[in-house]
Amino acid sequence: MTEPASPAPIEFLYELWDANWDDGPLGNYQILQHPITKKTPKRIYFALSHGRAGFVDRQSIEANGEVWHRPLGRRLYLTPPEIPHRPKATSLPELRKAMADAHPDRGGTDAAFIAARTRYEDARRTQAAA
């Protein structure tokens, strides 16, 4: 008796989507999966939400791992992309310490001290306005 053939695994194209792109702060990223419906030597066809379909150039995406999909206005990936993280903002005490460390009396240079003081004053102004 032969065993039933197992179904082929579903393959996807991936998209990095910012859920707050139209209102609110950017950076609320999600990875969307678009199931691949067909592969030909030239194209990879995939399904979008709402029943729409699309395709990408197979050679381009397989060579680069990603491709710009003009109709969507987004980049599509062969493997799930890493979700970008915003760097943590430096706190005022950290900026004040960096400014003190850059002071010429402590071995810093005038240019380094001026740059550190500008960063500290900008952050203080921004925090006061918030």
Q: pLDDT for 18-32, tens place per residue?
A: 776 655 556 678 899
Q: What pLDDT, on the 0 to 100 scale, is given for residue 45?
A: 95
Average pLDDT value for the chain: 85
Say if residue 75's pLDDT is above 70: yes
- pLDDT for 125 equals 87
Pairing of strands 43-47, 53-57: antiparallel
What's the distance, Cα to Cα, between the start and end of the chain in Å?
73
Candidates 61, 64, 45, 43; CA nearest to 53 is: 45
CA distances, 75 to each of 24, 25, 53, 101 (Å): 22, 20, 16, 43
pLDDT higher at 88 or 12 = 12
The mean pLDDT of 50-63, rounded to a whole number, is 91
Instruction: Give the pairing of strands 66-69 and 53-57.
Output: unpaired
Confidence of residue 6 (pLDDT cuts 50, 70, 90): low
Q: Which residue has the higher pLDDT, 74 or 50?
A: 74
